[in-house]
Chain A
Amino acid sequence: MRHRYQNRIELLQGTLDLLVLQTLQWGPQHGYGISQSIRINSGDVLDVETGSLYPALHRLERWRLIKSEWKTSANKQRVKQYQLTAAGKKKLLGERSRWDALTAAIAGVLKPQE
């Protein structure tokens, strides 16, 4: 079991981080909210598992790319909200351009040669 999750993290690392940062660009959000918006924005294609999401969130927090705050929700629930830090915003821009370059390159390779 453990190995399954670990492999998944490694597989998604970077990509998942990018997705999380991108999601938080629109404002503070808790873990559940992040997973939902990734799912919805990807048209239900990407379903982030908790076993990947939370390690990613805690890792990003430790790298100080995001920061967290405890809030009390409407129905008196203690929830932990994450938001981008300045370093996180910078990182996001860098990662995005790298991602664009990467997808363009992959698309170029995949496109049948004329």
Chain B
Amino acid sequence: MRLPLWRRNQDDDLRTELNSHFKMAVQERLDRGESLETAESAVRREFGNDLLVREVTRQQWGWIWFDQFLQDLRYGARTLLKAPGFTLVALATLALGIGVNTALFSVVNAVLLSPLPYPHPEQLVTLHMSKPNFETGAIPFPNFRDWQRQNQTFSAMALSRANSTTLIGLGETEYIRINFVTSDFFSILGVQPLKGRNFLQGEDELGGPALVQISEGLWKRKFGASEDTVGKTLNLGGSVYTIVGIIPASFDLQLGSFSPTDVYLPLGQWGNNALKSRRAALGLHGIGRIKPGLTIEQARADMDVVSQNLAAAFPDTNTGMKANLIPIKQSMTGRVQPVLLLLLGAVGFVLLIACLNVASLLLARSQKRSREFAIRAALGAGRMRMIRQLLTESVLLSIAGGAIGVLIAAIITRAAVGVLPQTMPRLHNIRLDSHVLLFSLLISLAAGIAFGLAPAWKTSRPELQSKLQTSDRRTSAERHSLQNSLVVVEIATALVLLVGAGLMLRTLTRLWSVDPGFETRNMMLFGVSLSPSLANAPPATIRASLRELHDAIQATPGVDAVSLRDGSSPMGDEDDIYFWLANQPRPLSDSAMNWTLRYLVQPGYLKATKIPLLRGRFFSEQDTEKSPPVVVVDDVFASTYFPREEALGKRIRWGPEPREEAEIVGIVGHVKQWGLDSDDTNSLRAQLYQAFDQQADDQIGPNNRLILRASGPPLQLLPTLKRTVQQLNAENAMFDATTMEQVKSGTLQTRQISMVLLASFAGLALLLAAVGIYGVIAYLVGRRTQEFGIRMALGAQRAQVLFMVMAEGARIAAFGVTLGVVLALALTRLMTKMLFGIKPTDPSTFAAVSVLLAMIALVACYLPARRAMEVDPMVALRYE
């Protein structure tokens, strides 16, 4: 027996030791005067069998199990290599099963399990203002300052708000995204600037110093990573800011309300006077760090008290308003968690099927090997020893399969990072790290034991007599039934996956056919920022430039209609306001007011979106900043706030200023603002349209968004549009062009990806299950060839034989489908939230999937059944 390297030394030592013993014994006899020859032969006689002495001594080393393991391993590898067909199929099956599991686990690991890259992430929360019917609202700035001052449980809190501006100088003028932040934002996250410093206390106030932090990326791109960048200035939208710090590129926080940008300004630099209002939430969301040692419950209790005090102090704005604290990880991943867990469950099923398949292959093979094991048992091998040997073989198989699986997973994950939506949290964290590899190793081991145990148990069963006596062509029906039940479970599991995929498919078809309330085809959204020279121009000049822009685009060939827009955008941005009926007194608190989505649009909007006008009129060119304010509402608004009367002609008010009151002049159709799926269930559905041109002067700015209907595929218009925009002013910049179709599919993206993945997993499961049932029937036919021969020799028709075999397959399939339907009924409930318009027990999906699966099972049976039919009775009888 060859020993492993480290054991050979020990063995050499033993030889030396025995050798010295031998020599000393010989020497002693020589000293007594014996001749060398007599001495040696006497000692050799005393000594006994040298090999055997070594063997029994070695056994004391406690390595026997290991030696046997190596022996099993070698034997297993040889056996597997001798059956390349079996080994290949088993390896491929396992590699696929383990591969998809590893890939999905690497996503789950990156997104859900691995700790956030911030110090003490368990202390971090996101902060929101919970309003009646809206849990995660934005926080008015004065309230935030009160939170900061009055809380006892936070070491710090900060706000952020995304915005955009133009970067001037340093090359071509660029439209860039920025974030306004309050002073503690980066220190809460433990982000240390590469150079310079974070903003200090007080620098985030309105009227504070004009400072800026830039990203490492911008520092390299625009300043060539020069050492003296801190202290230099940056021109943003015409104002000059001093650079105080550089944020490292490793900072990659993705929250619902925050993505990293190239430029960070202190919040006060927004210069928005609404920051002073307790009414204006302005899209400000917060993060906070709870003091060490305190729990989130303590922080919540503390903030409840603060909120109550504020409600008492400012009843008209703060009644019903509460601070809402969410653990930061939940904020980041709460949305994708159920989807990922659902998919992880699905791939778990795929692995289960793979294991069942290999188990049934092993069972079929164990038939051939039962004599081998019977002989071993007869020669004195213990049963546990044989089970151990068989398990070593199956674990060897699964580990090899797992290794190939990890390679497959590496390919899948690399592809996945490219395909998955970039807004998915922690996407770039996905990789095959040690946790993932450990996971693959564990599932490989578990799989090896799982699929190996039953066959090993059966194979090693010591029915010596019967096995040695009979030829191996006739044995118990029991083995058979075990194999059949494996396939039954396989079919059942495949059915569960197929039902899941089917339900998602039907959900998506339903969603695609939902009428969004406007026509998405040929619609385009884009932004134009006017030349920076207009940044500080009087409002009248900006209004004139915007009108010019509108008219130029409207006149571009291929453009059917265009509208400047602000506020909400269908299935996109959300903007809402409170209002009350003009003939009633202003409600005491905001929470008692009416609430509506708000869209700021121009007359062309109706034609651009093809939203139907139900009654009254839409805006016209005559509705300007000088004419009386008018608004248009949707039918949901009308039926919500004027349930028993005509809304047309009624007046509403949303502020104390004279121009903050308007007449409702038209009623249009409802738009599915919240996406095709969730709009019906959202609490905020009323929609109000204000005329873009009737906005107050301070709302008019150089960065604007437009919506456009083209006569053909809209993106083809882009070059023409860009020319048009820049002919007006070479410094005008276009940005963020996208089609409404893209926006629409974006709202379905999570579902779509889950459907595609579920469908692929189900397809894989279906394939494996088909192979499984094929294998069992083929095996059965092979073993009964002789019987078929006899039957036919006795006059059975070929069709009868075919029918017999098919009936066996149909029986298995029927059991599998029935069990699968029961399982699926229990399990699909878990995906209720992902479905739309159908129940998780949708009968037609269940029926269709059952029929599909049964058909495939029958096809898989048909191939071997035909072989049974073609048995030549003479050959079959002679076979034995």
Contacts and interface: CB of A to CB of B under 8 A. Distances in A.
B56 interface: yes
A49 B53 CA distance: 9
Contacts of B56: 2, 5-6, 9, 51, 54-55
Interface stretch (B57-65, B227-235, B510-518): B57-65
A89 interface: no
B871 interface: no
A59 B64 CA distance: 13
Contacts of B49: 1, 51
A62 B60 contact: yes
B52 to A, nearest CB: 6
Contacts of A62: 60-62
B52 A79 contact: no
A31 B17 contact: yes
Contact of B47 (A30, A50, A78): A50
A interface residue count range (under 10 / 10 to 19 / 20 to 34 / 35 or more): 20 to 34
B16 A78 contact: yes
Interface stretch (B20-28, B445-453, B587-595): B20-28
B572 to A, nearest CB: 74
A32 B57 contact: no
B55 interface: yes
A55 B60 contact: yes
Contacts of B59: 55
Nearest to A9: B56
A80 B13 CA distance: 9
Given A2-B56, A32-B21, A50 B48 contact: yes
B52 A5 contact: yes
Contacts of A80: 13, 16-17, 20
A51 B48 contact: yes
Which secondary structure characterizes the binding site on chain B? Answer: helix
Interface string A34-76: 0110000000000001110011001100100000001001000
A73 B24 CA distance: 10
Which applies to chain A's interface (DSSP): helix, strand, loop or mixed?
Answer: helix
B25 A51 contact: no
B47 A32 contact: no
Nearest to A59: B60
A17 to B, nearest CB: 12
Given A1-B52, A2-B56, A50 B18 contact: yes
A30 B57 contact: no
Nearest to B59: A55
B865 to A, nearest CB: 54
A113 interface: no
Contacts of B25: 32
B53 A54 contact: yes
A77 interface: yes
A54 B13 CA distance: 12
Contacts of B14: 54
Contacts of B53: 5, 50-51, 54
A28 B876 CA distance: 76
B52 A54 contact: no
A51 B48 CA distance: 7
Contact of B60 (A50, A58, A73, A77): A58
A77 B52 contact: no
A2 B17 CA distance: 21
Most buried by A among B13, B18, B20, B55: B20
A9 to B, nearest CB: 7
A5 B48 CA distance: 10
B57 A79 contact: no
A31 B25 CA distance: 11
A47 B20 CA distance: 18
A2 B61 contact: no
A2 B52 contact: yes
B24 to A, nearest CB: 4
Contacts of A49: 46, 48
Contacts of A58: 57, 60-61
B55 A32 contact: no
Contacts of A32: 20-21, 24-25
Interface string B58-98: 01111000000000000000000000000000000000000
A70 B24 CA distance: 16
Given A5-B52, A62-B62, A50 B21 contact: yes
Interface string B588-630: 0000000000000000000000000000000000000000000
Contacts of B62: 62
Contacts of B55: 2
A33 B20 CA distance: 11
B375 to A, nearest CB: 21
B18 A77 contact: no
Given A32-B25, A62-B62, A54 B57 contact: yes
Contacts of A79: 17, 20, 24
Interface string A72-93: 0100011110000000000000
A78 B24 CA distance: 11
Contacts of B20: 30-32, 73, 77-80
Interface in A1-15: 1-2, 5-6, 9
Nearest to A54: B57
Contacts of A77: 20, 23-24
B17 A51 contact: no
Contacts of B46: 49-50
Contacts of A5: 48, 52-53, 56
Q: Which of A33, A51, A62, A77 has the most CB of B within 10 A?
A: A51
Nearest to A80: B17
A1 to B, nearest CB: 6
A80 B24 CA distance: 12
A6 B49 CA distance: 13
Nearest to A58: B60
B156 to A, nearest CB: 58
A79 B27 CA distance: 14
A91 to B, nearest CB: 17
Interface in A94-109: none
A80 B14 CA distance: 9
Interface string B1-17: 00000000000011011
6 contacts: A30-B24, A32-B20, A35-B21, A49-B48, A54-B14, A77-B23
> 10 smallest A-B Cβ distances: which pairs?
A58-B60, A32-B24, A59-B60, A54-B57, A32-B21, A80-B17, A51-B53, A79-B20, A55-B57, A55-B60
Given A30-B21, A51-B48, A58-B61, 11 more contacts: A1-B49, A6-B56, A32-B20, A50-B21, A55-B56, A55-B59, A58-B57, A62-B60, A62-B61, A79-B20, A80-B20
